[in-house]
Every structure is written in structure tokens, then in C-alpha cells.
Amino acid sequence: MEHRIIGCGNAARGDDAAGLLVVRQLRAWGADALEHSGEGLSLMESWRGHDAVIVIDAVVTGLAPGAVTVWDGREAPVIRDGGRSTHAFGVAEAVELARVLGRLPARLLIYGIEGRGFDLGSAPSPEVVAAAEHLAQRLFRD
Amino acid sequence: MNGRTRTIRVETLARVEGEGALTIKLTGDRVTDVKLRIFEPPRFFEAFLKGRHYSEAADIVARICGICPIAYQMSALHAMERALGIRIDPAVRLLRRLFYCGEWIESHALHVYMLHAPDFLGYQDAIQMARDHRAVVEQGLRLKKIGNRVVRLLGGREIHPVSAAVGGFYKTPAKSALRELEEDLQWAIEASLATVKLVAGFEFPDFEQDYEFVALSHPEEYPFNEGRLVSNRGLNIDAAEYEDHFVEQHVKHSNALHSVVRGRGSYLVGPLARFNLNFDRLPALAREAAQAAGLAPPVKNPFRSIVVRAVELVFACVEALRVVREYEPPPKPYTEAAPRSGVGQAITEAPRGILYHRYALDENGLIVTARIVPPTSQNQKRIEEDLREFAAQVAAWPLEEATWKCEQAIRNYDPCISCATHFLRVNVERE
């Protein structure tokens, strides 16, 4: 199936760039993929009209840096571990709002790449760079 | 509460370096400490800009914030144009107003509907709210999308727009392209009027503060890119004088700096300040909507900022439609100028308040120094002071409820944490 691939993040924020690194790699190989800031509402717009969507984002779940977790967005809530998001409307909020409004794509996979450092101006850590490359290969093959 | 010490703490998990946190200490019903660390100044970008050509700055600074890249571009471009002595074409000026309208519509719709309204309607977040108020959320989404459309049309793309240039735009749109926005904007005006009505019906805590409001002021227009910087305490200066009147102080508990008016202290920037200082320059439709909503300047209750944001949505939609109808493409997309050494300062009104940029250029047009003061860092001290007062009002409440109310008090300012990183979660801890 033709997937819409969307990588989220901020390139100036260390490991937050994880999703963007995957997209850039895919594009370098000639695949179609979209860079996105991760702002939730426009993210919902960016998958509109696509039946199969893959979103890649940096996450912090407590695993080792570079670890990749996959969530099926159609299944139970994504990355909402009891904490409340107060000021940002991000990827997890986009998925949950889309679920309520019936705007989820028929297939939605979310790949989370575990990040470690998010300092402004820092480079992504080697584990995240390697994980992004590896994930890009996997998605490219599929 | 018998003198027991309780701590209200709001913090980001992902930013392991420990920035981005709120801690309020209550001893009994007394507030004993408030520490807020929500925003670090963009020192990295200031350093990164050094040695770059003036033409590169707008694209670099657009990456500071995913929500308000246009604001960063506008302040950078106007500062460069002042340093280089460029006068922009009136049509370019008009287009830039439209560009800014798009960003205000996006940013205000996001904040009013998705981040702030749930507080007043008693929901944990917009997702919970959407279950019961689907039409409201759909309206907010459509408004936001229209803002995106305006930004995309002028910026080439929604995220990190690339078309704005020193002296104008790299490419200006055809008249017909702007005309295509007309229908959407007509809908958006009606929707934003409905927004004012909706949020005016919310209940607001009884909380007023004596603020120094600081905003741009233009003789004929509600301000975006031009005007003098004024306040309700007599400030009236040109952007070039900003650093004579505003200073940043290091704060012990934080890496961040607190911006203060020299000799006076904290001040407030953003919708309340703009509205209070420029009410008579709002279009009639926005003024009438404000009056019907019971708003009259000076509005001193920060919780009512959601209504003021909605009024500014009306303004942005009306102004956007005006530009779309009046626009005639400029003879050339941008005005060029020879590089020269010089300094340029500019202030523009980002959705969250004034954004100051200063650049010094050498004779080749390379950046020697850059200085950026974003609105949230200017509001930071004022937010902390609000919390000090407000926490006392809710100190006797159950901890979770008090925490929620304090978060709401921070949200009054729509602090741009998105600039920092898009992770943000809240923890409530007891001591």
C-alpha cells in the first residue's frame, strides 16, 4: 500500500530531529515523505485524503536512546501516559482528536524514536542518527 | 491546611536539562515561593546568525518557532531593511500585513479553541472537549486551516515559509491567487464573530492586576509591523531606543532572563496590551464585537485574554479580506540595496506580543551581532507575578484543582513553549 510518510520534529533541538532525519534520508533515496513541525492541527490536515499514514516522531518513554517503538494509531491511545499536555498540541493530541472527530486514516502507524537530549542547538545523538537511518531503510524497503 | 507545605509543580519531562518548569510552594494557604522557567532566550540562534549574510537571516530565524515563523521573519526583515536603508513598496507592505494576518489566525485559533477553551468549559483538553462540543472544535479547526492557507499562499509552504525576502518577497502572488481566499475569509469573519460570542460567555475568575501594557501603536492601524512602542505609563519610543528602556536581568532560579522596563519592572505584551492601547484602531466590526462581549479598555483581567484574542481574530480576518480585495501586485517583488555597514532594529507584533530584533552588519552585509527578544521572555516575569497573586486565591483548594487553575493562569499568556520543543507534560507532586 502507498503510505503517506510524515516525520515530525525540530531540527534545531538535538534528538527532536529524529522524525526529520528519517524523512530526509527517504527523500535522498527518491521516496516521497513530508517534513513536519509536529503541530497537531496541521498534522491532521497533512494526512487528510491518505488511507495509509506513517508518522515518525521523537519520544521519551524511558527506553534507551535510539530505541524504536511502534504504535498502531487505530488501536488504543498513543503516548498518553497519564500526563497532561498543557501548552502544546502535538502528535499524540492530533491522533486522539482525529479519533474523536472520525478523521483518522484507515491505517496509521506511529514510529517513536527514543531521544535523549533536546538542547537548543545540539546535534542529534549518534544512537538516534543510527536509529533514523535504520528506520528509513526499513520503510524504504516496505 | 495547618501550615503543611505543598508544592504545585508543572514540568516538562523530555527536556532533561531541567528547563521549562513551574513550581509554586504553598505553606498553608500562603504562597511562599513561585519559580517559573518556561522559556530560554534564543541565544543559540543569535550566535548562529553571526557571519551569515543579511539575506539568510529571515530563513534562519523562521526556525526558532513552529507556530510563529512569520513574526520572526517580519522582525528580521524590517531590521535588515532599516540597516540597509531600504524602503519597501506599499504593495509589499500590504502583502506582509496579510502574511501576518494568516499567522495570527492560525495562532489565535489554535490557542483559543484547542488550548484555552477547554479550561473554561471544564475539560482536561480539546480532545475531551471535542466529544461534547464537536461543532465548536470543527469551527476552530476550519479557522486555523484558513490561517494556514493564507500563510502557505504567501510563504510557499506552511512550515518554515521561505518566500519573504529583504525588500519584499522572492515571488509575489497574482491578484487572482489572493482573490481565491475571499470566500474562506468571509466565512472566517462570521466564525470569528461567533468565537467572540462563545468565549465571552465563559466564566472568568475575579482577578485584576495593575499592568504596564506595552505594544506597538500606529496612527491609523491596529499594529503589525510598524509604529512606535508605547505603554500606559508614558513610554513612547522608536524601536531603535528599545534597549535603552528595556533590560534583561539574570534570575537566580533559572537560565532564562527576565525582561523589565528599566527603573519600573515587569510589563505585559500581547493581545491585552495591543487591545488596551489600540482599541480605537480596530475595525468597527471588531470594536462592536468587543463591546457586545462586555470588553472595554483597559481590560486588566488576564483570564479575559481569550476574549481579546477572539476579537483579534475578527480583526485579522477583516484585515485579510481588505488586503485580498485591495491588492495590486508591486512592479517588482522586492527592492534591492547595496550592502553597507550599519545597525537596524525592528519590533513587530507576534501573536503573543512584541518581538524585538537588532542586527549589526559589516560593509559586506554580513551579520556582526544579532539580538532577539521574543514576547514570551518579555512576559515571563509578569506571568510569575500573576501566579504569585493568583496562587494565593486558590491555595486552599485541592492540589490538583489548584494546579490546573495555575496552569490556566499561565495559558492566559499563550506562552510559546512550542518554540522550545513540542514535548510538554505536567506532573503534580506532593511534598
- What would the pLDDT profile of B323-363 be if each residue is shown by its tens digit? 999 999 999 999 988 999 999 999 999 999 999 999 999 99
Find chain A residues with C-beta within 8 A of B127's C-beta. Answer: 93, 96-97, 100
pLDDT tens track for B132-177: 999 999 999 999 999 999 999 998 866 667 789 999 999 999 999 9
Cα four-point dihedral sign B214, B215, B219, B220: negative
- Contacts by B177-182 with C-beta closer than 8 Å and gap 24+? B177/B153, B178/B98, B178/B153, B178/B323, B178/B324, B178/B327, B179/B324, B179/B325, B181/B146, B181/B149, B181/B150, B181/B153, B181/B320, B181/B324, B182/B321, B182/B324, B182/B325
The residue with cell 465563559 is B202
Structure-block grid coordinates of residue A111:
514510529
- Count how many pairs of residues, chain A against chain B, have C-beta atoms within 8 Å: 122
Count of CA atoms in the C-beta half-sphere (13 A) of B43:
9
Question: How many angstroms away from the CA of B170 is the closest CA of chain A?
Answer: 22
Q: Which of A89, A99, A128 to mutate to test the interface with B (most CBs of B within 10 A)?
A: A89
Domains assigned to chain A: 4-141 (3.40.50.1450)
Find chain B residues with C-beta within 8 A of A20's C-beta. Answer: none
pLDDT in tens, chain A (142 residues): 578 999 998 888 889 899 999 999 999 999 999 998 888 888 999 999 999 999 999 887 788 999 998 889 898 666 554 333 344 677 888 898 999 999 999 999 999 999 888 777 789 999 999 999 999 999 999 8
The reply to whether B399 touches chain A by the CB within 8 Å rule is no
Report CA dihedral (B299, B304, B306, B307) to the nearest 10 degrees.
Answer: -70
Report the Cα A133 to chain-centroid distance in Å. 14
Find chain B residues with C-beta within 8 A of A16's C-beta. Answer: 421-423
Structure-block grid coordinates of residue B310:
477572539
Pick B19 or B307 by higher pLDDT. B307
Structure-block grid coordinates of residue A62:
524511558
Q: CA separation (Å) from B147 to A38, B97, B100, B317?
A: 17, 13, 9, 9
| Contact (CB, 8 A) for A41 and B158 | no
Question: How many angstroms away from the CA of A84 is the closest CA of chain B?
Answer: 5
Check CB contact under 8 Å for B63 and A100.
no
Under the banding of pLDDT at 50, 70 and 90, the label for residue B18 is very low
- Report B:277-296 residues touching A (Cβ under 8 A): none
Kindly report whether the peptide bond that precedes residue B333 is cis, defined as omega within 30 degrees of 0: no
Residue B10 has pLDDT above 90, yes or no: no
pLDDT tens track for B173-227: 999 999 999 999 999 999 999 999 999 999 999 999 999 999 999 999 999 999 9
Check CB contact under 8 Å for A85 and B407.
no
The helix/strand/coil state of B276 is helix
| Mean pLDDT, range B95-122, rounded to an integer | 94
Domains assigned to chain B: 5-41+380-419 (no CATH), 43-379 (1.10.645.10)
| Mean pLDDT, range B306-312, rounded to an integer | 98
Question: How many angstroms away from the CA of A86 is the closest CA of chain B?
Answer: 7
CA distance B228 to B277: 12
The reply to whether B30 touches chain A by the CB within 8 Å rule is no
**Among the listed residues A60, A78, A31, A37, the one whose alpha carbon sits nearest the alpha carbon of residue A128:** A60
Question: How many angstroms away from the CA of A77 is the closest CA of chain B?
Answer: 12
The reply to whether B44 touches chain A by the CB within 8 Å rule is yes
Chain A residue closest in CA terms to B17: A119
Chain A residue closest in CA terms to B416: A87
Nearest-CB residue to A39 (from B13, B67, B130): B67
Give the model's pLDDT for residue B269: 97
Q: Sort strands B367-373 and B353-361 into parallel, antiparallel or unpaired.
A: antiparallel
Beta strands in B157-238 (DSSP E): 164-165, 168-169, 214-217, 228-231, 236-237
Find chain A residues with C-beta within 8 A of B59's C-beta. Answer: none
CA distance B41 to A119: 12
The helix (run of H) or strand (run of E) holding residue B147 is: helix B134-155
Question: How many angstroms away from the CA of A137 is the closest CA of chain B?
Answer: 26
The helix (run of H) or strand (run of E) holding residue A113 is: strand A107-114
| Contact (CB, 8 A) for B101 and B319 | yes
Question: How many angstroms away from the CA of B222 is the closest CA of chain A?
Answer: 27
Question: How many angstroms away from the CA of B102 is the closest CA of chain A?
Answer: 14
- Contacts by B361-365 with C-beta closer than 8 Å and gap 24+? B361/B54, B361/B80, B361/B83, B361/B84, B363/B339, B364/B339, B365/B53, B365/B54, B365/B55, B365/B84, B365/B339, B365/B340
Distance in angstroms between the alpha carbons of the first and the last residue of chain A? 9
Report the Cα B269 to chain-centroid distance in Å. 8
| Contact (CB, 8 A) for B307 and B47 | no
The reply to whether B377 touches chain A by the CB within 8 Å rule is no
Q: Judge if pTM exceeds 0.80.
A: yes
The reply to whether B150 touches chain A by the CB within 8 Å rule is no
Under the banding of pLDDT at 50, 70 and 90, the label for residue B431 is very low
Q: Sort strands A52-59 and A4-8 into parallel, antiparallel or unpaired.
A: parallel
Chain A residue closest in CA terms to B44: A121
CA distance B268 to B415: 12
pLDDT tens track for B65-91: 777 889 999 999 999 999 999 999 999
Q: Which of B116, B127, B184, B413 to mutate to test the interface with A (most CBs of A within 10 A)?
A: B127
**Among the listed residues B106, B90, B65, B94, the one whose alpha carbon sits nearest the alpha carbon of residue B192:** B106
Q: What are phi and psi of B312, to 5 degrees?
A: -70, -25
CA distance B161 to B69: 7
